[in-house]
Structure 1
Amino acid sequence: MKILHVLAAALLLAAPLSAAAQHSHKPGTAAHGHQAAGETHAHQSPHGGIVRTAGKYHLELVQQAGQLHVYLLDGNEKALPVAGATGTAMLLSTTGKTTSVKLTPTGDHLLAAMPAGTTLRTAIVSLKANGSSLSARFEKLDAAAKASKAVSAAYACPMNCEGSASGKPGSCPKCGMALVKKS
């Protein structure tokens, strides 16, 4: 029993040391206040998504109109080129269904289509980029999406299709009509 107490104390003492080993950010940079389990600092969200640490990089996940956009970011949350990067995202819906989707480089980020009608709860993103294997877990995405839509949805489908709210112009993922600016 005494050995268990010693091991538990050693683990508690080591936890702050491993947290201090994480990198830090420049003072004065804006950051959103959300920290995931295991994160030692808040992150900027340059594209309006959720940012997680992945090795010496960061990954930003943005859900938009039935698609996942994944940005590879450096330690200062600046977007890095993704040409030649490959990856997948394991998706868990609010109904408990698990799906794997392929991430494809598109411009300055990677893109994947979500299965129609999916409300995403968790995504585990795995990438191979710049000679590194990276992964990050994004949880409670259904709650984050509701909060985001309530605050930043400036465009919506004129037919009021579910899931059509967006922060920028585009077309409805359900019916294809052009999104209109909310008044």
Structure 2
Amino acid sequence: MKVSQILLIAAAIVATASCSAQAQHSHKPGTAAHGHKAAGETHAHQSPHGGVVRTAGAYHLELVQQAGEVHVYLLDANEATMAPTATTGTVMLLTTAGKTSTVALTPVGDHLVAQVPAGITVRTAIVSLKAKGKSLSARFEKLDAAAKTGKAVSAAYQCPMQCEGSASDKPGACPKCGMALVKK
């Protein structure tokens, strides 16, 4: 890796970490609507797909780990899934062994997917997207701890029409066709 690339990665990590310290976010009635100052803010609400939700500007990003893959969902201010139309991005993976790799995110149905290189355990993921004319980023940490404790999502509900991207860990409606999700 070139020195310029290492410096760029270090600058991105520092910028993301400093923004996280300024988190201001509230969904409580009577409080100010989103004070979206913090990219990557820890999110206190349940996620629509069972992953981890972070604030990214006026949007939210949800990261879901699955076997050999990282799934990223773009969510609106109300945490509803948005189609990744014309969305591009990457995810920088920091491993438990201290290695770094950057993987492209590919649109698949209602979300984006990155293939995790074989044989690595992801500790931190930094997602960078270009969506809706805006640059968005969020940092997801302690992912290796979640994997060890079994917090990885196993979808228990799916659309009866088998729509792509309909799998969920809780009941609800299919984001594609609107039908009620059924237990597997």
TM-score class, shorter-chain normalisation, is 0.5 to 0.7
Q: How many residues align?
A: 129
Q: Secondary structure at the match of 1:144?
A: helix
Matched, 1:43 2:16: no
* Helix, strand or coil at the partner of 2:81: coil
Distance 2:134 2:105 in 1: 16
User: Quick one: distance in 1 between partners of 2:26 and 2:62?
Assistant: 17
Alpha-carbon deviation of 1:24? Answer: 2.6
Distance 1:153 1:74 in 2: 24
Change (3 A) 1:154 1:146: farther
Shift in Å, 1:41: 5.4
Instruction: Name stretches of at least 5 consecutive residues in structure 2 with no aligned partner.
Output: 1-21, 30-37, 157-167, 170-184
Q: Distance in 2 between matches of 1:128 and 1:154?
A: 28
The counterpart of 1:60, out of the listed 59, 62, 80, is 62
User: Which letter maps to 1:98?
Assistant: T
Rg larger in 1 or in 2?
A: 1
Bigger RCO (CA 8 Å, 6+ sep): 2
Inter-partner Cα distance in structure 2 for 1:42 and 1:68:
21
Secondary structure of the structure 1 residue equivalent to 2:82:
coil
Alignment match, 1:121: 123
State the partner residue of 1:109.
111
Secondary structure (helix, strand or coil) at the match of 1:45 reads: coil
Unaligned runs of 5+ in 1: 1-17, 28-35, 156-166, 169-183
Query: Do the aligned partners of 1:25 and 1:75 also contact (CA within 8 Å) in 2?
Result: no
Matched residue SS, 1:145 = helix
Q: How does 1:24-173 map to 2 (within 5 A)?
A: 24-25=26-27, 27=29, 39=41, 42-149=44-151
The structure-2 alpha-carbon separation of the partners of 1:87 and 1:41, relative to structure 1 and needing over 3 Å to count, comes to: closer
Q: Which whole-Å deviations, capped at 9, do the CAs of 1:86-145 have from their partners, x for residues lacking one?
A: 000000010111000000111000001000011100000000001110000001110112
Partners in 2 of 1:101 and 1:143 — Cα distance?
Answer: 21
Q: TM-score, normalised by structure 2?
A: 0.62
> Quick one: percent identity of the two aligned structures?
72
CA distance 1:94–1:85, change in 2 (3 Å): same
How far is the alpha carbon of 1:152 from its aligned partner? 6.1
Give the direction of change, closer, same or farther, for the CA distance of 1:152–1:127 in structure 2 (3 Å limit).
closer
Q: SS state of the match for residue 143, structure 1?
A: helix
**Deviation per residue, 1:30-62 (Å, 9 max, x gap):** xxxxxx997375132110101101001000000
CA contact (8 A) 2:39 2:137 kept: no
